[in-house]
Amino acid sequence: MATLISFDIDGTLELGDPPGPISIAMVIRAQEAGCIVGTCSDRFLPGQALIWGQIGIQANFMSLKHRLVEVKSKFQADRYIHTGDTNMDRAAAKESGFEFMELDVAAGEPWLAWADGPKPA
């Protein structure tokens, strides 16, 4: 089953401002497990690209939060997940047909159980 995960940055990823509970190691594990991974944030795309470059990961996508629906139209997946820390994240997910995942749930990396790719040792 293909799973697409969209991460907000600020308050969600450990490199955000403020930092969030989702570590870079978690993002890497999701991608290694076969998930389609990227960011959907209020940050402009060059700022999102800078973050991906700093952590040395090739994102599958980057998007502004209000354009999350465009991400869904570009990727075929069985599940579309957006995780973030605000009501705006929840609203963007709902409006775009994504499941919204609370950060405390996301911190448990449930996508590893859904992914088709290799599982971490």
| pLDDT at residue number 1 | 66
d(CA 10, CA 16): 4
**H or E element at residue 79:** strand 79-83
pTM, full prediction: 0.91
Looking at residue 119, the DSSP 8-state letter turns out to be P
What structural domains does the chain harbor?
3-114 (3.40.50.1000)
pLDDT tens digits along 1-10: 699 999 999 9
Distance between start and end Cα atoms, the chain: 20
C-alpha separations of 115 from 3, 15, 27, 78, 83 in Å: 6, 24, 13, 10, 17
pLDDT tens digits along 26-80: 999 999 999 999 999 999 999 999 999 988 889 999 999 999 999 999 999 999 9
